[in-house]
Amino acid sequence: MLNRLLTPVFLLSLLIPVACSAQEPVSDNLQAGKDFQLIKNQQKPSDNSKIEVAEVFWYGCPHCFSLEPTVKKWKETMADDVKFVRMPAVFKGNKVWNYHARVYYTAEVLGYGDKIHEPMFDAIHNKGQSLNNDRAVKAFLKPFGISAEEFESTSKSFAVETRLSQAEQKIKAYRMTSVPAVVVNGKYWTSSRFAGSNKSIFEVVDKLVARERASQ
């Protein structure tokens, strides 16, 4: 009789440590301020069902250009619960950076964001095109099927203005002063300055993603 009473209790005691350990944070060797920057004013991703990884870039940045092959390779291996997004850097008063952000968001609204991304880097860094004004950009976009009229109207649309405003607010919240950088779920960001190299950026990103996955 005593054994029958104790058996369920004993089994329950075995299950309790398992349940508790599943909620413990992932153990890694990352240190805030050394491997990544903790974002004090955290920004919630638009899609809460996924862990968001956002690449922050500027088309005129040679380091952003050199990071692209690493980004592309990492995207091929990212897990199903991860969502990758691009965020062109918007800094108040920086006309060229902000103009390039407007070009990207215009293409994104029109459904061509992915199609023009690598070619725009290539045009600037390999072909020597500045793409700093409407005339040059309209000529660049024409082969993709975006007319001058479409660019003109969409670039000044509410949808593009909203994206630019949101990007500026996020950059300010992140206290980010340089690119490229990668933000994980609006809570952390890292760069080669923290990680040590372009390849190491995504090693840190993967560990931060694992942290977020364990906390959900």
Q: What is the pLDDT of residue 17?
A: 41
Q: Provide the β-strand partners of residue 87.
A: 56
DSSP secondary structure code for residue 94 in this structure: -
Whether 15 has a pLDDT exceeding 50, the answer reads no
Q: What is the pLDDT of residue 198?
A: 87
Cα Rg for the chain, rounded, in angstroms? 22
Residue identified by tokens 């409407």 is 134
Exposed, middle or buried, 209 (CB in 10 Å: 0-12/13-18/19+)? buried
Tens of pLDDT, residue by residue over 129-138, are 999 999 999 9
Task: Show me where the domains of the chain are located.
Answer: 29-215
Whether 194 has a pLDDT exceeding 90, the answer reads yes
191, 204 contact by CB (below 8 A): no
Which residue type sits at 114? D
Exposure of 204 in the CB half-sphere (CA atoms within 13 A)? 27
Q: What is the mean pLDDT of the chain?
A: 89
pTM for this prediction: 0.85
Whole-number Å distance between alpha carbons of 119 and 104: 12
Task: Tell which CATH architecture fits domain 29-215.
Answer: 3-Layer(aba) Sandwich (3.40)
Whole-number Å distance between alpha carbons of 56 and 205: 13
